[in-house]
Amino acid sequence: MTGALDNIKVIDLSRILAGPWASQMLADMGAQVIKVERPGKGDDTRLWGPPFITPAANKTSANAAYFHCANRNKQSIAVDITTTQGQQLLKALILQADVVIENYKVGGLKQYGLDYASLKALNPKLVYCSITGFGQDGPSAHKAGYDAMIQGEGGLMSLTGEPDGAPMKVGVALVDIATGLYSCNAILAALLARYSTNKGHGQYIDISLLDVQLAILANQGMNYLATGENPQRLGNGHPNIVPYQTFATQDGNLILAIGNDQQFEKFCRLAGCAELADSGRFSTNAVRVLNRKQLIPIIAQKLARHTTAWWVNELEQIAVPCGAVNTLAQVVNHPQIKHRKMIKQVPDENGDLIKTVASPINLSQTPLKYKSASPNLGQHTRQLLSQELGYSQSQIDQLFEAGIIS
């Protein structure tokens, strides 16, 4: 079967996580993604370890596990874009491309003739996605943006953590990942528009981490707009639903995720506190939210009487949503995760298999492909120059000797 994006070529000038996350999604869907990196250095995340993944056949080409989370199914070409020859080489690749993704500072690529206006003149069909911390305009546009600082500046940290504790960031780079998802969606929309309404022309996409952070505040953002009051940190509690949080059991922790009054009534009967569901203080979600401080200790006392497995088994039988709080070791061995084949193995350049977490996207007619592990720096430089641009081996050797490519 062919991939959904088999005829799409992407030039990926991005580094770290947000841009590579978007381009990996496109690569999984079948697009040819050419990752452009700095000779000798490459993407910073190649060194963001330990842990590192060291190929069995080449002990000198270890890359951080971090790098491998966002760069499978790509080809790597190492080009010095500060040189005229490097710029010409890259423009020749972009002339054939459908998409460019970059996350340089605002205006950073203009000096190399690799900004949207310059490339649009060469390739009008180009979809060009710029990812920055704060957007292309405005008083903060000049600032660099990193996930943790955006979680703070964009309000997420103020919502995360225990009520009496310090603000906390989320345990993964959530803003970068969400920015990658939004970027991929925007690119697909622009490609569709190119074919349907835009008369074969591409367009420019401006994505900002700060904008994404605000957008994904979701119900909490709307809670503020509705009341004008800053939402407070609730630890593992939910601002709009009670009980919807973690509780200690006899041997571990449980997430109880009660979403309606009928589920609450069933839980109370099982827990031996049916009177709570009839109480005027707790009978509806609205009053449970108002009386959270009185209700939660009662439920906590009930849940501490049995093991996590006991509660999960009993609650599932009466259709009350719940789940264990698992470690990653437990997650990857979860029967459902195994059934869904969410852990894949992909070959590196030597044929060694490297484990990767699969995409959650399942397409019936154009399934995603897991063709190759993340590339070594410059792994495909010679191949791409020869096959894509028709360079002779002597021309390629000269560029290598000049340090323009590696």
For 45, 135, 326, 347, the CA distances from 333, given in Å and listed in that order, are 27, 41, 10, 22
> Can you say whether the dihedral through the CA atoms of 28, 30, 31, 33 is positive or negative?
positive
pLDDT of 97 reads 98
pLDDT of 59 reads 54
Interval 376-396 mean pLDDT: 96
pLDDT of 350 reads 87
pLDDT band at 61 (very low <50, low <70, confident <90, very high): confident
Closest CA to 201 of 210, 209, 192: 192
pLDDT of 58 reads 55
Q: Is the pLDDT of residue 11 over 60?
A: yes
Peptide bond preceding 51: is omega within 30 degrees of 0, i.e. cis? yes
The per-residue pLDDT for range 258-302, each reduced to its tens digit, is 999 999 999 999 999 999 999 999 999 999 999 999 999 999 999
Q: Is the pLDDT of residue 60 over 80?
A: no
CA 217 to chain CA mean position, Å: 16
Q: What backbone torsions phi and psi does residue 178 show, to the nearest 5 degrees?
A: -65, -35
Interval 329-353 mean pLDDT: 95
Residue 380: both structure tokens together: 């495909």
Cα(107)–Cα(246) distance, integer angstroms: 46
Q: Is 176 left (phi over 0), alpha (psi -120 to 50) or beta?
A: alpha
Q: Is the pLDDT of residue 362 over 60?
A: yes
Q: What angle do CA 211, 217, 223 make, to 5 degrees?
A: 125
Quote the mean pLDDT of the chain.
96
The per-residue pLDDT for range 135-170, each reduced to its tens digit, is 999 999 999 999 999 999 999 999 999 999 999 999
Interval 232-245 mean pLDDT: 96
pLDDT of 54 reads 81
The per-residue pLDDT for range 202-238, each reduced to its tens digit, is 999 999 999 999 999 999 999 999 999 999 999 999 9
pLDDT of 57 reads 57
Closest CA to 114 of 138, 149, 90: 90
Q: Is the pLDDT of residue 82 over 70?
A: yes
Residues catalogued as catalytic: 176
**pTM attached to this predicted model:** 0.95
pLDDT of 1 reads 74
